[in-house]
Amino acid sequence: MAQRAVWLISHEPGTPLCGTVRFSRRYPTVEKRAKVFNGTSYVPIPEDGPFLKALLFELRLLDDDKDFVASRDSCSHINKTSVYGLLVGGGELWPVVAFLKNNMIYACVPLVEQTLSPRPPLISISGISQSFELLFGIQDFLYLGQKNDTELNTKLNQLPDLLLQACPFGTLLDANLQNSLDSINFASVTHPQKQPAWKVGTYKGKPQVSISITEKVKSMQYDKQDIADTWQVVGAVTCKCDLEGIMPNVTISLSLPTNGSPLQDILVHPCVTSLDSAILTSSSIDAMDDSAFSGPYKFPFTPPLESFNLCYYTSQVPVPPILGFYQMKEEEIQVKITVNLKLHESVKNNFEFCEARIPFYNRGPITHVEFKVSFGQLEVFREKSLLIWIIGQKFPKSMEISLSGTVTFGAKSHEKQPFDEICIGGTAYLKLHFRILDYTLTGCYADQHSVQVFASGKPKISTHRKLISSDYYIWNSKAPAPVTYGSLLL
């Protein structure tokens, strides 16, 4: 008996969506078992948005839902069990256990250890009774002694840690969540904090927490039909926590927008105390599907004194931020070059800097350059046999720029001119260097209001984001190019 996913949804009539997902938890290990057991009748767990819409429709809780729908409202579909089938992603997700109480919808999807076509009798699915037991347990925990919305929000924030104990890996051990909370509190009281050996001192001063998300995007572009362009995003979350106390506890949540790219291959610092199993099992090796975990990614930890990398991750973004081609043709002591760059419309058009470097290896110094540039300016470093196209801080409204010209070289000097064993003859590249502040390609961000700090004093919380280019090459499409970059073929 296990659960594939759990949701808590507040019913909010009069709002655009008529509801908000207040809490959700998916169990990827159970989901893989469901895929095996259900076979061809398997329907993956959808994202929160589509699930919310489908559930509110099935429960007749949408404001504009006044028309008769035969598949839902006919006499042959009268529901007396609180078990529903939801139309999501071209299939029907069944069974979904759901009920409304105190303007809160409690829902979960139990594991069915057999094919779903034809539907087995409900009495034969042991996970359904466990679903009700879990949901009733959550309901009792949320509203036991609850007086206002502040207390409700506090209890919702406690749910992730409580379910790690009460329902690990989707298997319910104790439906009384208050027991799990008491055991956590008892452990913190009965075991006085001691200075750990790895922490050489304590901080004294104004409390503050700084969170910085840095994403580096790599790319190899060829503009050839027989060679696929590759790109990859690697992210790092760096933290500096100046907090008083021997063992302060901090929880940071990373979130994604609706169209954000899920984080994968997540590696965490040893100071992280617990993790959702969905975070650990999200891998770039597996093919992306609708069941990919898209957060929020919560990291509870006890921070060291120094700045540290909380986690690293990769992501399969759908397109590179800048797509381009580079063409170079040799004509005796001259080369003709053509460059075209296009900024993707989804990328923030506000750079700290952006430039394209065009080196010419194994040649003499540049003696003459004739060029035409549609945007920015071109700098010539004659002795280094290098052109730097300074694009600046913004692309034009068309999001597309071009450079063309002819470069003439003098006699080659083996001592001074740059040499490269790969860039021989027409094999050449353009390398992009750029940085965008307050932006990540995945959309990943740390919400200041979601940071939880359990220490004395109210800390100042600051968050920063930036996207940096790293090994961003565009190869000459008119000559052979090395295909050695180990990245994601998309």
Number of C-beta neighbours around residue 24 at 10 A:
19
Tell me the CATH number for domain 2-182. Answer: 3.30.450.60
pLDDT of residue 486: 46
Same fold for the domain at 2-182 and the one at 208-319+441-474? no
CA distance 110 to 30: 9
pLDDT of residue 184: 58
Q: Tell me the pLDDT tens digit for each residue of 87-134.
A: 998 899 999 999 999 889 999 999 999 999 899 998 889 899 999 999
CA distance 310 to 263: 14
| Single-letter amino acid, residue 378 | L
Fold of 322-412+420-438: Immunoglobulin-like (2.60.40)
Residues 421-435 as b/e (b if ≥16 CB within 10 A, e otherwise) read eebeebbbbbebebe
Task: Say if CB 300 and CB 273 are below 8 A apart.
Answer: yes
pLDDT tens-digit profile, the chain (490 residues): 799 999 999 999 888 888 999 999 999 999 999 999 999 999 999 999 899 999 998 888 886 666 666 555 566 565 668 899 999 988 999 999 999 998 899 999 999 999 998 999 988 898 999 999 999 999 989 887 666 788 888 888 888 888 888 898 899 988 888 777 766 554 444 455 666 666 767 888 899 999 999 999 999 999 998 899 999 999 999 999 999 888 888 999 999 998 888 999 999 998 898 888 778 777 766 555 555 678 789 999 989 888 999 999 999 898 999 999 999 998 878 999 999 999 999 999 999 999 999 999 888 889 999 999 999 999 999 888 899 999 999 999 999 999 999 999 988 776 666 777 888 888 999 999 999 999 999 999 998 888 988 888 889 999 999 999 999 999 999 988 888 544 443 3
DSSP assignment of 141-179: HHHTT--SHHHHHHHHHHHHHHHHHHSGGG--S-S-HHH
Provide the 3-class DSSP secondary structure of residue 219.
strand
CA distance 11 to 20: 7
Residue 63: CA count within 13 A, CB half-sphere: 9
Matching CATH number, 208-319+441-474, of 2.10.240.10, 2.60.40.1170, 3.90.1150.10, 3.40.50.620 = 2.60.40.1170
H helices of 68-125, in order, are 70-73
Domain locations along the chain: 2-182, 208-319+441-474, 322-412+420-438
Q: How far apart are the first and last CA of the chain?
A: 37
Burial label, 185 (beta-carbon count in 10 A; 0-12, 13-18, 19+) = exposed
Reported pTM: 0.63
CA distance 257 to 80: 37
